Structure 1
Amino acid sequence: MRRAKATAPRGFTLIELLVAIAVMALLSLMSWRGLDSMSRATLQNQQRADAVLTLQATLAQWGADLDAVIPLAQTRPIDWDSRVLRLTRRGSDDAAPSVQVVAWALKSGPDGVRWRRWQSQPFTTRGDWQQAWNLAAAWAQDGGSGSGSGGYSDVPLVPASSWQLYYFRDNVWAPASQLPTAAPNPNNPAGPVVAMPDGVRLVITLPPGDGLAGTLTRDWVRPTVGAPKS
């Protein structure tokens, strides 16, 4: 009786190996593209979230500055020259009452064109107010940071391509301009030089590329407007 010969195990042919390698390469490529898409989406979502948080903090500071505006004798509580907005506001330290000048302007820097905020050191005299008021105007014009050993700060905020202000006066919104000098008040001869408008409307354009884009409008109304008279 003849024995059957044992057959040697059959291996993969060259073509089968090449096909298997091609399939694995294709699967690896598809997996990499999927991971890359997920990574890009995560990065974009994070950039947008960071941009939203920065914008919210910026607008909160904008509203806080306007809420804290204080009219002082022979000073300007607000001034807009189509380039920079300057405000005279209360200091942030309630334990040590003081006054500060803040300024908002659109300026270019190493990080591109951004809406920026300048703040003076706290002061208590009218002479210091005049110095800070002039420094705020110079900061907006000369392109400098205004920061230094004197305690002045310049903070870049959100990217912006343009901005415009409107004042609410006499029950109508109108483009902001230099406010007229207030008529002398016999009952308050030491009043401010100009009166604060009833409202301020901010219209700012955010450029594409940083998570947010488009035109944003923000209205601020003076807290005392519409308040019952005592």
Structure 2
Amino acid sequence: MKPVRPQRPRQRQAGFTLIEVMIAIVIMAVLSLIAWRGLDSMGRANTQLQLRTEETARLMRALQQIERDLSWRTTTELPSAAIEAIPESQEAATPGTRRGPRAAVPVPLLPAGMEVRRLTETPFLVEVVRAAPAAPGRWQRVQWWIQSGTLYRAAGPAADAYPLPAPQAADRVAVLEGIASFEVRAWEPEQGWRRLPATGQANNAASGLELALGVRRSAGPAMQYRRVLAFD
């Protein structure tokens, strides 16, 4: 008789059970969800950053354009609106009385070629007479104003004689939207900042200008931007 060899036990086949596979799938799903939320948050933050960058760039271009209009403003070409001093010969003096010191003569606060006014249909308007860049020797009226939360600019046709034609409705361009406020102040030496349009006479001509813009985002309070320009 042949000896009977003992049978070796069959090796168990390597693999994963159904529970192990389900646990792995759940872990992968959780990791995928976390990664997707992180990528989505980064994408939204990048979009908001791009929007803020574009808004800031538009604001800076608007302020630079205002500064350029002011730097190219007219000086002696416009008729001066300054109040002339009263000649000493016309000053009333009673015989036998001592003449007191002469009062300060009022002068225009803003330089020639610039005007700030408030109207019924336009709450705030700044007008500058500046040199026409495309027409040497000619001048044009440029207006800035706020209407329905939008900052507009309009440049009239260039001309070489006064009165200069005013800008028309077709000339206006929407420069910046979402404007909550637009204020301009002038610095009067020895007096300080004066809100425009000025209500009283000035003793000294303004040496600088302050532009203040309040820009309202889609949510949250308006952001205040300020730029100070010195007159030459």
**Same fold by TM-score greater than 0.5:** yes
Deviation at 1:198, TM superposition (A): 2.8
SS in 1 for 2:166: helix
Partner-residue secondary structure (3-state), 1:70: coil
Counterpart-to-counterpart distance in 1, 2:42 and 2:221? 20
Say if 2:122 is the partner of 1:117: no
Q: CA distance change for structure 1 residues 99 and 123 in 2, over 3 Å: closer, same or farther?
A: same
Q: Is the 8 A contact 1:55 1:158 kept in 2?
A: no
Residue aligning to 1:30? 34
Matched, 1:57 2:93: no
- After TM superposition, the structure 1 = structure 2 runs for residues 187-226 of structure 1, keeping only pairs within 5 Å, are 197-209=206-218, 213-223=222-232
Q: Distance in 2 between matches of 1:29 and 1:7?
A: 39
CA distance in 2, matches of 1:196, 1:179: 15
* 165-174 vs 56-65, which moves further: 165-174
Q: Answer with 1 or 2: which has the greater Rg.
A: 2
User: Residue deviations 1:177-225, cap 9 Å, x none?
Assistant: 158899xxxxxxxxxxxx97432211221223389952222111211xx
Whichever residue aligns with residue 41 of structure 2, its letter is S
Mean Cα displacement is larger for which, 33-42 or 118-127? Answer: 118-127
1:159 aligns with 2:178: yes
Aligned residue for 2:138? 98
Is contact 2:178–2:217 with CA below 8 Å preserved after alignment?
Answer: no
Identity %: 25
Q: How do residues 76-95 of structure 1 correspond to structure 2 at under 5 angstroms?
A: 77-82=113-118, 83-93=124-134
What is the aligned partner in structure 1 of residue 193 from structure 2? Answer: 173
The residue number in structure 1 matching 2:87 is none
How has the CA–CA distance of structure 1 residues 221 and 67 changed in structure 2, closer, same or farther, with 3 Å as cutoff?
same
Gaps of 5+ in 2: 81-111, 119-123
CA distance in 1 between partners of 2:205 and 2:140 (Å): 17
Distance 1:164 1:43, change over 3 A: same
Change (3 A) 1:44 1:212: farther
Structure with bigger RCO (C-alpha 8 Å, 6+ apart): 1
Q: 2:51 aligns with which of 28, 47, 50?
A: 47
* Unmatched runs of 5 consecutive residues or more in structure 1: 136-145, 183-194, 224-230
Distance 1:212 1:90, change over 3 A: farther
One-letter amino acid matched to 2:182: W
Q: How many residues align?
A: 189
